[in-house]
Chain A
């Protein structure tokens, strides 16, 4: 029986609640700014990270221009690390699209891992700016589409504030020491995510791509990473998604066990297999390649990939990573048209 749904906000709210919907939603929990959106306001990508209005404007533009069913801020992966004292580089000089990176870490060697979390964490860096962007988005399009945000997972955040090389080796040599750091970072993530929830976001994605099975064994994932993800999802009240890219078939059950309402996987995941493993009710978001399909593919490739995702059993059509801004407008339109045909 056809369900009557008024808009994307209602559709995706019902999706998270496990209620029947009219068709597969098409949205994301990660960045989805387009150069079309940037052009329509005359903004430079580098400046949108530092200005709440610009951030909100371009975040809303992917919905306004193409009907993409959400708006997500921020666009980079440095917000939490910056609040912890890292210096970031936004590449203000660059004409190209470059995402901000960490210039200066806070942990330089093993002995500095016992960090103190700043008591004014939520006042630091750009957390207030992201909250302001969320508020602007709620006022602008909050009745029509869900407003999302994201935080890093503890292991990925640890990789931002210390050398990844050291973190990986220590996760093997000294798991207790790494565990203690992840526990603290889980608290940081909980504080920040709760603040976003209070600001009124409709869903939060926890991005833990550093712990993909391309890098860490499923065993290490289960023993060292999963406990802190559980701690985080246990403390969050709203809709949550756990995103991990790369090889995830072996850890998909652990991802679900983390307590996230939904899991997000990329094109390397065999979703048909994951669906079989996790059952009909599990919320599995994925899993098209946002670059090799959406940016460099033609319209037919986009359409066939979207169909394939749905046939394999995704609960929502959702990219494997941030949508790369130079996505051709005709491909965005083809994707949304394919979705609306169903």
Chain B
């Protein structure tokens, strides 16, 4: 039986499992959530994502660093893999597909993977091109998948400049596509100058940006839920 109390307990275990990067605890809690017929969306957003929000806070306060962040992400994915098949499609008014990758010349993909994780959580269709991606590949993939969002990542100043070219090419083919750029050398000035819609200069900011986006989705979901109950 799924009592309110049990539900609360499972959400708490999911959340703490992510914070304490305990993959096994997360798996166990997610399995139980599924067996008890708990709403998978609720388990993801109020359990796993709540945990990741706290991880973001710990990261910002320099309690956690990148190794911890990576382990928390592993724990989140361990839960997500179990819960995802049970998610009912949400209608959020966006198609929700994104092309993401690290630009050519750059083999760093940690920041990119953190952003990708949040898209996975949000139920986006993610086309991950990986790292060291030739610039034209972003344009091709966007056209092929008709994604409304493209995320470009570069860890080094030496590769960042490639992003400007991708943005130009994407805009020429599809003026409406939203473009987010991320990575250590990226700044607000650069994002504005090159015509990107959003930017995240480091893993912390990428995580924050992604969490903001997910929190907005969470709110939309809650509103949709309460509308449903009212009608």
Contacts and interface: CB of A to CB of B under 8 A. Distances in A.
Interface in B54-84: 62, 65-68, 70-71, 74
Interface in B174-200: 184-185, 187, 189-190
B106 interface: yes
A52 B107 CA distance: 26
A217 interface: yes
B185 A101 contact: no
Contacts of A91: 104-105
Contact of B159 (A98, A164, A173, A292): A98
A172 B67 contact: yes
B65 A220 contact: yes
B106 to A, nearest CB: 7
Interface in A320-336: 321-322, 324, 326
B229 interface: no
A321 B67 contact: no
Nearest to B165: A96
A165 B161 CA distance: 24
Given A101-B107, A214-B202, A290 B65 contact: no
Contacts of A217: 62, 65
A216 to B, nearest CB: 6
A279 B187 CA distance: 32
A300 to B, nearest CB: 16
Q: How large is the interface on B (under 10, 10 to 19, 20 to 34, 35 or more residues)?
A: 20 to 34
B110 A165 contact: yes
A40 to B, nearest CB: 21
B171 interface: no
Contacts of A195: none
Contacts of B62: 213, 217
Contact of B162 (A96, A164, A290, A292): A96
Contacts of B105: 91, 94, 96, 98-99, 101
Interface in B143-160: 156-160
Interface string A209-232: 000011111001000000000000
A89 B68 CA distance: 31
Nearest to B104: A98
Contacts of B156: 99, 321
B65 A216 contact: yes
Tell me whether chain B's interface is mostly helix, strand or loop, or mixed.
Answer: helix
Contacts of B184: 214, 246
B65 A215 contact: yes
Contacts of B169: none
Contacts of A13: none
A290 B161 CA distance: 13
A171 interface: yes
Interface string A81-112: 00000000101001011110110000000000
A168 interface: yes
Given A91-B105, A98-B104, A214-B184, A321 B157 contact: yes
A298 to B, nearest CB: 13
Contacts of A213: 62, 65
Interface string A130-172: 0000000000000000000000000000000000110011011
Contacts of A89: 132
Given A101-B106, A246-B184, A322-B158, A168 B67 contact: yes
B108 interface: yes
B129 to A, nearest CB: 16
Contacts of A326: 161
Contacts of A215: 65-66
Contacts of A16: none
Contacts of A254: none
A291 interface: yes
A100 to B, nearest CB: 9
Contacts of B71: 169, 172-173
Given A101-B132, A217-B62, A292-B187, A171 B158 contact: no
Contact of A97 (B74, B109, B158, B189): B158
A321 B158 CA distance: 10
Interface string B16-56: 00000000000000000000000000000000000000000
Contacts of A220: 65, 67
Given A91-B105, A164-B110, A165-B110, A99 B66 contact: no
Nearest to B107: A101
Nearest to A320: B157
Among A98, A213, A292, max chain B CB count under 10 A is at A98
A322 B187 CA distance: 18
A291 B163 CA distance: 15
A173 B70 CA distance: 12
B108 A291 contact: no
Interface in B104-147: 104-110, 113, 132
Contacts of A324: 157-158, 161
15 contacts: A98-B104, A98-B162, A99-B105, A101-B107, A101-B132, A168-B66, A171-B67, A214-B203, A216-B67, A217-B62, A217-B65, A220-B67, A292-B185, A324-B157, A324-B158
Given A165-B109, A214-B202, 4 more contacts: A97-B158, A98-B162, A99-B105, A165-B110
